Structure 1
């Protein structure tokens, strides 16, 4: 997968490295200012090289990565992971924020799958509603 490319468009690289699902989403991310190359906001046509530092905001996660390699086509995630390096402290910080978001999620029908019709009716009735037996 790792071909000897000298330059590659940032939008294509983000798609190949699996930070986004489609090229169109990569273009939208770059145009929306969620991607910086070497500290500078860029356009989708910006060409990157190995050694460039990229900062990508994907959802609530901020990825600070160094480009290691470029690729001609999108491949499996295991190969895509070889295209960049992420600092250990950045990865730990991102994982900690993800854990905090997970713990802050509202509880409810968590772990029970979809609510049943009976569960839904109880939920919609509210806490002070009388229940039939």
Structure 2
């Protein structure tokens, strides 16, 4: 392992982002916080630092355990950080809430509605099913 590594490289090695350029874009967009402030790509995380990382998969709050500049297997990546218990609970709660959201798509229709499905929608609204 290394003693100093760029933050974007570490995020890529820890598999939070698919590519290093995606990690750099996320940092520049303000989706990564280091020491409670917006991070910069060239900042160097140290062992014990706490990072807040917003990814498409959720908000992660992790503590850096090891530094690595090369991407390895998923098992190696998991050893680079430890996610806080609050972060795990928050992500599970958000995932549960997302699953409980109502789905408004028709199971037989993919993409645009067909002419038949449009007629059925219009008929349902005319019959009063769309009224509150």
Query: Would you say same fold, with TM above 0.5?
Result: yes
Cα displacement (A) at 1:59: 2.8
What's the secondary structure of 1:125's corresponding residue?
helix
Q: Aligned pair 1:92/2:89, yes or no?
A: yes
> Distance in 2 between the 1:48 and 1:93 partners?
24
Alpha-carbon displacement from aligned partner over 1:73-118 (angstroms, at most 9, x marks no partner): 11222221111011112201111101211221524345x7x74xxx
- When normalised by structure 2's length, the TM-score is 0.80
- When normalised by structure 1's length, the TM-score is 0.79
CA RMSD, Structure 1 to Structure 2 (Å): 2.5
Q: Aligned pair 1:127/2:121, yes or no?
A: yes
> Distance in 1 between the 2:64 and 2:29 partners?
21
Q: Aligned pair 1:104/2:101, yes or no?
A: yes
**Aligned equivalent of 2:32:** 35
**Aligned equivalent of 2:80:** 83
> Distance in 1 between the 2:89 and 2:101 partners?
18
Q: Following superposition of structure 1 onto structure 2, how do residues 13-52 of structure 1 map, counting pairs within 5 Å?
A: 13-52=10-49
5+ long unaligned stretches in structure 2? 125-132
* Contact 2:9/2:69 (<8 A) preserved: no
The 4+ residue runs of structure 1 with deviation greater than 6 A are none
What's the secondary structure of 1:99's corresponding residue?
helix
5+ long unaligned stretches in structure 1? none
Question: How many aligned residue pairs are there?
Answer: 124
Cα displacement (A) at 1:58: 1.1
Alpha-carbon displacement from aligned partner over 1:23-71 (angstroms, at most 9, x marks no partner): 1110111111111111121211111111111011113721111000112
> Distance in 1 between the 2:7 and 2:81 partners?
13
